[in-house]
Amino acid sequence: MQKIIISAAGCWTKELLEDIPVVPQKHTVFRVKCPKHVPEMPLTGDLTTGVYWRPEGKEYLAGSPISVFDANDLEPAWNDFEELVWPALAKRIPAFEELKLTGGWAGYYDCNKLDNNAVVGKHPKYDNVYIATGFTGRGLMQAPGIGRALTELITTGSYQTIDISAFSVERVLNSEVRHEPYVL
């Protein structure tokens, strides 16, 4: 039986498969607490600035819309909090004017530079190589469906319950752009 290789290397994909344009994109997330009561809310984004926030236990996470390719380190972009994130939060939710910054971190999004969408399926140049990458900051949310669909493709030769051929490797190799404009 032929061995199957699945490349799920996230933002390091291009190091293994040069023709797949998935690269590291640094993003910073801040943790804040708010002394005032704020009604419950889901993950919420401010489209005018790109700032987003969501509850995290008794605190909140708030993300900066500024991203950096070719970053040299993963030091959080602390200045973004004062200059951009806090003002945007306070404008939308006045109680957030009294926010206190309690932490923050930076990490790499697995950015598909072609169009910010996932790249999933069989690599047409190889007999036995499959890919699941390029989720551009949405990989945790998409993982259950991607895992199921890719399992179906590998074990039966086609998608059975979830057709994700829109994310095909061919689309990326042929530069068929399906741009996702909203990347949190």
Ligand X SMILES: Cc1cc2nc3c(=O)[nH]c(=O)nc-3n(C[C@H](O)[C@H](O)[C@H](O)COP(=O)(O)OP(=O)(O)OC[C@H]3O[C@@H](n4cnc5c(N)ncnc54)[C@H](O)[C@@H]3O)c2cc1C
Q: Write the burial class of residue 55 (CB in 10 Å: 0-12 exposed, 13-18 middle, 19+ buried).
A: middle
Q: Tokens at residue 70, please? A: 């070719």
Q: d(Cα 57, Cα 60) in Å, to the nearest integer? A: 7
From residue 98 to residue 137, the character string flagging contacts with ligand X as x (rule: CB under 6 A) and all else as - is: ---------xxxx----------------------x-x-x
For residue 78, state whether it binds ligand X (rule: CB under 6 A). no
Q: d(Cα 129, Cα 151) in Å, to the nearest integer? A: 13
For residue 167, state whether it binds ligand X (rule: CB under 6 A). no
From residue 141 to residue 160, the character string flagging contacts with ligand X as x (rule: CB under 6 A) and all else as - is: x-------------------
For residue 14, state whether it binds ligand X (rule: CB under 6 A). no
Residue nearest to ligand X (CB): 139
Beta carbon nearer to ligand X, 34 or 71: 71
Do residues 131 and 13 touch, judged by C-beta distance below 8 A? yes
For residue 30, state whether it binds ligand X (rule: CB under 6 A). no
For residue 52, state whether it binds ligand X (rule: CB under 6 A). no
DSSP state of 80: H
Backbone angles phi, psi at 141, to 5 degrees: -65, -35
Q: Residue 44 region, left (φ>0) first, then alpha (ψ -120 to 50), else beta?
A: beta
Beta carbon nearer to ligand X, 29 or 99: 29
For residue 80, state whether it binds ligand X (rule: CB under 6 A). no
Do residues 56 and 125 touch, judged by C-beta distance below 8 A? no
* Chain residues in the site for ligand X (CB under 6 A): 8-12, 16, 27, 29, 107-110, 133, 135, 137-141
